[in-house]
């Protein structure tokens, strides 16, 4: 009998140091857990480590035929610190996938603007990889990404390779530059004037700190992007992932079930943009 709260065991196959306090883990289901994990870009899992607890992490890679998948973890508390201490071949537990995906049916053949702040690039990466894997199914792509410093930018080599895709532009900025940085400085919103997409027909997908999302949406609306074409990936105190604990309930919605991806129209009704 399936138990929604019983985790499957996954094994760490590879660990990449993205930034001083950020690591990307490549995981696979342990053989006895059976099969491949089926998920869509934008969904999340609940990851557990005995003695430290459980927390939600969004898939940071597109679904792959080899069954591997990735999460990117910023060291913020006891659980994430313990994850950072793990090594290859260590095992953790996961439940899921949970939540909705990005609006895959609404973005085909559209121009796309991705806006990420800090570790918010991790949830967007799964969709960006999916778009570039099926590049002919989408229009022009622009990616706006900001971080506190150059050393805190994640997926640096991969971002460089994204620029090689046709009809694609990457805009990067940092709050505090160092001697190696030759790019833009300042908040993410300062890069919006560089965006060339037609705001009337393009879809925007954002992820980052709440203050960044709030500010970015205001500026995006000023550029003429439509409410119905703006989506954000959010996290809001998700504890169970299955809509049972009530921690993420707000105005008739469970973020873990109805989200974590919402259109701006939905966000206004839920008042989670304020």
Q: Is 62 exposed, middle or buried (0-12, 13-18, 19+ CB in 10 A)?
A: buried
Taking residues 105-115, report their average pLDDT: 96
Task: Give pTM, 2 decimals.
Answer: 0.94
Q: Where in the chain is the domain with CATH 2.40.30.10?
A: 8-98
Task: Please name the fold of domain 8-98.
Answer: Elongation Factor Tu (Ef-tu); domain 3 (2.40.30)
CATH of region 104-233: 3.40.50.80
Give pLDDT, residue 144: 97
CA–CA gap between residue 224 and residue 48 (Å, rounded): 42
Residue with tokens 């306090």: 21
Q: Where in the chain is the domain with CATH 3.40.50.80?
A: 104-233
Structure-block tokens of residue 182: 């030759």
Structure-block tokens of residue 217: 């949406």
**Number of helices and strands in the chain (H, E):** 7, 15
Give tens-digit pLDDT for 238-271: 788 888 888 888 888 888 898 999 999 999 888 7
Give tens-digit pLDDT for 45-79: 999 999 999 999 999 999 987 889 999 999 999 99
57, 61, 87: which is closest to 74 by C-alpha? 57
Give pLDDT, residue 32: 58
Check pLDDT > 80 for residue 147.
yes
Taking residues 189-210, report their average pLDDT: 94
Give tens-digit pLDDT for 27-43: 999 875 567 789 999 99
Q: Where are the beta strands (DSSP E) in the chain?
A: 8-19, 22-29, 44-49, 53-58, 69-74, 91-98, 112-117, 141-147, 168-174, 184-185, 203-207, 230-233, 249-250, 253-254, 261-263
Give tens-digit pLDDT for 148-193: 999 999 999 999 999 999 999 999 999 999 988 988 999 999 999 9
Structure-block tokens of residue 34: 């059976």
pLDDT band at 274 (very low <50, low <70, confident <90, very high): very low
Taking residues 114-129, report their average pLDDT: 96
pLDDT band at 236 (very low <50, low <70, confident <90, very high): low
């Amino acid at each position: 009998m399936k138990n929604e709260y019983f985790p499957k065991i996954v094994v760490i196959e590879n660990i990449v140091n993205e930034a001083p306090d950020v690591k990307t883990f490549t995981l696979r289901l342990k053989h006895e857990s059976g099969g491949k994990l089926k998920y869509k870009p934008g969904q999340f899992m609940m990851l557990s480590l005995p003695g430290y607890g459980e927390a939600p992490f969004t898939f940071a890679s597109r679904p792959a035929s080899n069954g591997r998948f990735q999460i990117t973890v910023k060291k913020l508390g006891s659980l994430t610190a313990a994850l950072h201490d793990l090594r290859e071949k260590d095992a953790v537990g996961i439940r899921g996938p949970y939540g909705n995906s990005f609006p895959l049916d609404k973005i085909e053949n559209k121009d796309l603007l991705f806006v990420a702040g800090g570790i918010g690039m991790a949830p967007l990466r799964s969709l960006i990889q999916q778009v570039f894997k099926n590049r002919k199914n989408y229009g022009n792509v622009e990616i706006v990404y900001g971080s506190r410093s150059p050393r805190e930018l994640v997926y640096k080599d991969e971002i460089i390779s994204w620029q090689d895709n046709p009809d694609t532009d990457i805009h990067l900025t940092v709050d505090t530059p160092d001697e190696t940085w030759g790019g833009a400085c300042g908040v993410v919103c300062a890069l919006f004037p560089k965006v060339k997409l037609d705001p009337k027909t393009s879809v925007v997908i954002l992820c980052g700190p709440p203050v960044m999302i709030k500010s970015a949406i205001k500026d995006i609306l000023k550029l003429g992007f439509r409410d119905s074409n703006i989506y954000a990936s959010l996290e809001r105190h998700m504890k169970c992932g299955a809509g049972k604990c009530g921690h993420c309930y707000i105005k008739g919605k469970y973020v873990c079930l109805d989200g974590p991806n919402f259109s701006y129209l939905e966000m206004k009704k839920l008042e989670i943009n304020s």
